[in-house]
Amino acid sequence: MITRLSHATIYVLDQDEALKFYRDKLGFEVRTDATMDNGFRWLTVGPKTQPDLNIILMAVKESPMFEADKVAMLRKLIESGALGAGVMDVDDCQKTYDELKAKGVEFMGPPADRFYGIEALFKDNSGNWFSMTQRKK
């Protein structure tokens, strides 16, 4: 029986830049940052309040996992903003929006009322977009 999800992958264009974004702008903590003998970098981050979730910041580059043509396709999708990477819950959407906007996070619009709560959409520095949501109680 599956009991929980421990890791989720976000494909990024540059791991160093993604690390700066997720750590310095979103306030995530680094969980693992290790480079293997073959040069593969295993980089995970996560919200301080959710220690059992590791978000893998996976570099999109040619490797045994990705042939050159697939790298080009995936990079194009990421850069175009076509990939939604998930929903991040917040206690106060407007306050978090103001804080992140002041740090240079790109939002697709201001917080708005939705049937499920208050939501603002933002992009990471690779082009992945997220819903930042204050859920209705």
Position 2 in a domain = no
Instruction: Report the pLDDT value the prediction gives residue 8, as an integer from 0 to 100.
Output: 96
Q: What percent of the chain has pLDDT over 90?
A: 87
- Number of structural domains found in the chain: 1
Instruction: Report the pLDDT value the prediction gives residue 106, as an integer from 0 to 100.
Output: 96
Mean pLDDT for the chain overall: 95
| pTM of the shown model | 0.93
Position 35 in a domain = yes
Position 1 in a domain = no
Instruction: Report the pLDDT value the prediction gives residue 85, as an integer from 0 to 100.
Output: 84
Return the bridge partners of 22, or none.
Answer: none
Instruction: Report the pLDDT value the prediction gives residue 122, as an integer from 0 to 100.
Output: 97
Position 119 in a domain = yes
Q: What is the CATH number of the domain that holds 78?
A: 3.10.180.10
Instruction: Report the pLDDT value the prediction gives residue 127, as an integer from 0 to 100.
Output: 95
| Positions of the chain with pLDDT under 70 | none
The secondary structure of the chain as a DSSP string is ------EEEEEES-HHHHHHIIIIIS-PEEEEEEE-TTS-EEEEEE-TT-TT-EEEEEE-SSSSS--HHHHHHHHHHHHHT--EEEEEE-S-HHHHHHHHHHTT-EESS--EEETTEEEEEEE-TTS-EEEEEEE--
From the CB of residue 113, how many other CB atoms can be counted at a distance below 10 Å? Answer: 11
The whole domain housing 79 covers 7-135
